[in-house]
Amino acid sequence: MKALIFIPGLFGSMGEDIIPGTGDWDFGLAAINYRPFIERLTSMGYKEGHDLFICFYDWRKSVKECTERYLVPKIHEVKAKCHQDKIDIIAHSMGGLLGRCYIQSTLYGYDIDKFIMIGTPHTGSVKAYYPWAGGTVPPDDSAVGIASHWLLKGYAWLFARILDAPSPLDTIHITLPSLQDMLPSVQHPPYLMSDEPFNQKQFIPVEHVYYRNHFLDELNRLSYNLFTRDIHISSIIGDTKPTIAHISIASSAAASSAPAKVWPDGRPVRHYTSRHGDGTVLTASSGYIGGQQYVFPAYHSALPVEASHIISHILGISKPVEPVHASSITSYISIIADGPISISLINTGRDGSVRSHAMSNAKGQSWLFIPQPKLLPVSISVKGLDSGEYVLGIDTPDAPLERIFEFRSFIKSAEIQNISIQIAPFTHKPVIRRR
């Protein structure tokens, strides 16, 4: 088998480059989605570090910068280590744009044999408009869309505290310029429409929208050269899942030249979904690039795992791989800490295992993600690394889109505080109690 590089999507990497003190590269909290896929690749016969490699990258940066800084060196590294002139690439979501950016550039070394893209937003995703134009999380009609919600809200909250940014939109524009590369391109059908009362709804041409995606405009203009690079190109495309296709907006004053203007085209009033998508990317966007295409009924975050038997076929794996259904996250509690503390979960399941995913660094920033919390209230232990004030950011699926609930307190060095978190049934507001 040829050596294989997997490129994860947005939020799919964590390490020193992104948040200092978090250590070596790994999937971070996105492991809940990606580690099962790596296990599926392992079951096909690949061995991580031997012929299976992961291209982690700082997804906050632009696609072009990530390609040049992380993907190109990784390809050279893998070719040298495995003594192969050509390798295969599997890329999920934004990772597919990194792969395209490399293949379509003058840097390309004719060293890719198979290129498999999974849920890649070739003409962008309408969802990206919400954080990039308004600094907020997009609404979602699907439970599985929760995955991108808690990651986006959590990272935005954490980065805002690290940078002391003046507004949510400033935080997004300063820390996540990659989101601009996810906006719909001119090849995408118009997605904004006026919502003026008594007037016929009119679509705004993509080229007239204030915030533009010039990166994808140009990448797609030159997409024909993908098929002059001696590569077997395949796409895994999600379908039949409700996906935001149009946003109805209220009228707005003329767009100014301010670089961080909130909703310059008008504030969203409502959105409309299509069943032709994966919950994040419309089917037409994922299928914009030609090549061999496989349309699969799965949500965006579940596509890699649920389509792994198709991927095995594309790679030419002789060992049969059975289809598998990825479990969905329909509820969660996300707890982020900033201050001189460490946090850990006290509750355990019936078998004694901790039902959480954790991330922390040496600077007092910690994150606990508890999917499908069955034991309520959730109990956590807060330990003082030093004396001072700390803040807990607590998020749930029913919390307001615009904010994370904050709990502030003080702690002494080496002190341990046990805290219970209960979600109020009607207000969905976290109720904090010390035990």
This model's pTM is above 0.85: yes
> By the 8 A CB rule, do 250 and 267 touch?
yes
The DSSP secondary structure of 30-74, one letter per residue, reads GHHHHHHHHHHHHHTT--BTTTEEE----TTS-HHHHIIIIIHHH
> By the 8 A CB rule, do 312 and 44 touch?
yes
> By the 8 A CB rule, do 11 and 59 touch?
yes
Per-residue pLDDT 10s for the chain (435 aa) are 899 999 999 999 999 999 888 889 999 999 999 999 999 999 999 999 999 999 999 999 999 999 999 999 999 999 999 999 999 999 999 999 999 999 999 999 999 999 999 999 999 999 999 999 999 888 865 444 566 778 888 998 988 888 777 788 988 999 899 999 999 999 999 999 987 665 566 899 999 999 999 999 999 999 999 999 999 999 999 999 999 999 999 876 544 444 448 999 999 999 999 999 999 999 999 999 988 999 999 999 999 999 999 999 999 998 888 889 887 777 888 999 999 999 998 865 555 455 788 888 877 889 999 888 876 788 899 999 999 999 999 998 877 766 789 999 999 999 999 999 988 777 778 888 887
Instruction: State which H helix or E strand residue 345 sits in.
Output: strand 341-345
Question: Which residues face 29 on adjacent strands?
Answer: none
